């Protein structure tokens, strides 16, 4: 018996209990899809899907705890003690609507027919309770060859669900595989069908490319294919073309992508950044493709990103733009430090910290001379020190309130008070005055005295 090696033993135990329960009642049952693929590839398995000849109502009757996840398409989630397993009846699918979803499904009795409806050969492998594999379409061989190949005719698979074209690029990127020639040709012919796909689904695939282990590989394939020109909301492009990737090495494809990017030095650093926080890679990619800070939020919203993700990404881009201007405009360290403090307070401590981490990756990847690298590292070390020296980031952290200032001055509130409090925050943040109530009130009074004398 071949044992699972990439799965939590408790998950395996409970998954096999599901299979045993179905088998004991006369049904067929297999592990299928990603769990089998990842086990063969030596990748960690995070969930285990099951295919069975049992109808959805049979599955509900057999197990005590179930959820009708997609019962109209044959899927029932079986809840065991610690894990949930999606159990789906063997099925084949009818004509697809809008290149997205089947108009109806038909339950069948054979696992081979169920595997035929799947997208790629590596995802069309079943595994029985004893570890034997059912692989009618050559998935194991394609995994060994590092090949992304459709089950059956690629044109038909993409006609059924156009998102599979982006999934093919995503798998090629994440796994380091190459698309089969037949798949690539069908992708180029059918890419206009992506206009039918919801942006949420497109974004999910793009996220997995950008945040994956080989983002430049995936981006180069996306650019060469032109797929993103056909989705509902365009992304800035660097290069374009329809050449077969087999005719150009991956290194050449990546060089073309880098050469055409407005800020090549940023794109080169993309693989060096961790995937979390996600705003790190997204800010770098969008800037590399020429997107300005003011355009980031509108673009990411069109791509259905959550507001928080868009705002965090935009803050890093705006920080980089403003800091580059400061470096060009300021000539002494004191003035530059003051600009850093203003930026960190205005755009946030998190944006500043993210920029520092991002910039370290950019410098590591940049083609600099040794003297240039030393000078840039010294400037980055200086910025890191200033980052740690900022004493306050919000008005709520001040030892005085607007009410305290009004009592001191005897004046009525107004816009002047807001501006004064902001200036007070910056003075505290820069270490120009201690964050102590008495010291702050004296600082305010001294400033007002000077202002009043100037108006006399």
The listed CATH number (3.30.365.10, 3.40.50.1980, 3.40.50.300, 3.30.460.10) that belongs to domain 9-145: 3.30.460.10
pLDDT of residue 410: 86
pLDDT of residue 308: 97
The listed CATH number (1.10.357.10, 3.30.70.270, 1.10.246.80, 1.20.120.160) that belongs to domain 395-453: 1.10.246.80
pLDDT of residue 448: 61
Q: Quick one: which of 303, 182, 285 has its CA closest to 238? A: 285
Q: Quick one: which of 312, 300, 340, 313 has its CA closest to 324? A: 340
pLDDT of residue 106: 77
3-class DSSP state of 32: strand
**Domain 151-234+251-260's class?**
mainly alpha
- How far apart are the C-alpha atoms of 203 and 449, rounded to whole Å? 57
pLDDT of residue 324: 93
pLDDT of residue 235: 73
pLDDT of residue 261: 60
Locate all alpha helices (DSSP H) within 146-290, ordered by sequence: 154-160, 163-175, 181-190, 199-210, 215-225, 250-260, 264-268, 278-288
Protein fold of 264-390: Methane Monooxygenase Hydroxylase; Chain G, domain 1 (1.20.58)
pLDDT of residue 224: 87
pLDDT of residue 73: 85
Domain with CATH 1.10.246.80 in the chain: 395-453
- CB-based contacts of 383: which residues, under 8 Å, 6+ apart? 340, 356, 359
CB-based burial label for 405 (10 Å; 0-12, 13-18, 19+)? buried
Domain with CATH 1.10.110.30 in the chain: 151-234+251-260
Domain with CATH 3.30.460.10 in the chain: 9-145
pLDDT of residue 79: 97
CB atoms under 10 Å from CB of 135, counted, come to: 21
Q: Report, as ranges of residue numbers, the positions in the chain whose pLDDT lies below 70.
A: 1, 93-104, 237-262, 448-456
pLDDT of residue 151: 97
pLDDT of residue 454: 42
pLDDT of residue 258: 60
List 120's β-bridge partners, or say none: 150
Q: Quick one: which of 163, 156, 152 has its CA closest to 120? A: 152
pLDDT of residue 238: 53
Domain with CATH 1.20.58 in the chain: 264-390
Q: What is the DSSP string of 35-103?
A: HHHHHHHTPPP---EEEESS-HHHHHHH-SSEEEEEGGGTEEEEE-SS-EEEEEE-EEE-PEETTTEES
Q: What is the DSSP string of 100-138?
A: TEES-EEE-S-HHHHHHTSSBGGG--EE-TTS-EE-TT-
Q: Is the pTM of this model over 0.85?
A: yes
pLDDT of residue 259: 57
User: Could you read off the pLDDT of 143-201 as tens digits, one per residue?
Assistant: 999 999 999 999 999 999 999 999 999 999 999 999 999 999 999 999 999 999 999 99
């Amino acid at each position: 018996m071949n044992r699972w090696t990439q799965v939590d033993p408790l998950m395996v135990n409970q998954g096999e209990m599901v299979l045993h329960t179905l088998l004991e009642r006369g049904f067929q049952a297999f592990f299928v899809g990603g769990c089998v693929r990842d086990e063969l590839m030596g990748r960690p398995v995070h969930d285990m899907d099951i295919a069975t000849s049992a109808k959805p109502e049979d599955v509900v009757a057999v197990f005590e705890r179930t959820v009708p996840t997609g019962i109209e398409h044959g899927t029932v989630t079986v809840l065991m003690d610690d894990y949930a397993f999606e159990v789906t009846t063997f099925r084949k699918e009818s004509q697809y609507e809008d290149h997205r979803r089947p108009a109806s499904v038909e339950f069948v009795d054979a696992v081979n027919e169920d595997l035929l409806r799947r997208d790629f050969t590596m995802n069309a492998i079943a595994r029985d309770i004893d570890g034997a594999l059912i692989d009618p379409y050559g998935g194991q061989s394609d995994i060994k060859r590092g090949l992304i190949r459709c089950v059956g005719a690629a044109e038909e698979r993409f006609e059924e669900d156009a998102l599979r074209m982006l999934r093919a690029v995503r798998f090629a990127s994440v796994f380091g595989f190459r698309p089969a020639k037949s798949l690539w040709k069908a992708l180029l012919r059918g890419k206009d069908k992506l206009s039918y796909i919801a942006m949420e689904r497109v974004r999910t695939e793009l996220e997995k490319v950008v945040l994956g282990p080989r983002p430049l590989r995936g981006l180069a394939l996306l650019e060469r294919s032109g797929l993103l020109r056909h989705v509902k909301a365009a992304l800035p492009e660097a290069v374009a073309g329809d050449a077969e990737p087999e005719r150009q090495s991956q290194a050449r494809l990546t060089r073309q992508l880098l050469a055409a990017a407005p800020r090549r030095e940023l794109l080169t650093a993309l693989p060096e950044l961790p995937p979390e926080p996600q705003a790190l890679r997204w800010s770098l990619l969008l800037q590399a493709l020429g997107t300005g800070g003011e355009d980031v939020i509108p673009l990411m919203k069109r791509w259905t990103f959550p507001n928080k993700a868009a705002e965090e990404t935009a803050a890093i881009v705006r920080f980089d733009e403003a800091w580059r201007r400061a470096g060009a405009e300021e000539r002494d360290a004191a003035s530059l430090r003051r600009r850093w403090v203003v930026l960190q307070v205005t755009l946030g401590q998190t944006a500043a910290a993210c920029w520092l981490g991002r910039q370290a990756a950019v410098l590591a990847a940049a083609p600099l001379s040794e003297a240039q690298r030393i000078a840039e590292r010294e400037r980055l070390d200086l910025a890191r020190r200033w980052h740690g020296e900022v004493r306050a980031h919000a008005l709520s952290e001040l030892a005085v309130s607007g009410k305290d200032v009004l009592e001191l001055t005897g004046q009525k509130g107004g816009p002047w008070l807001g501006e004064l409090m902001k200036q007070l925050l910056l003075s505290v943040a820069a270490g120009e005055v201690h964050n102590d109530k008495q010291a702050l009130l004296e600082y305010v009074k001294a400033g007002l005295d000077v202002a009043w004398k100037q108006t006399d």
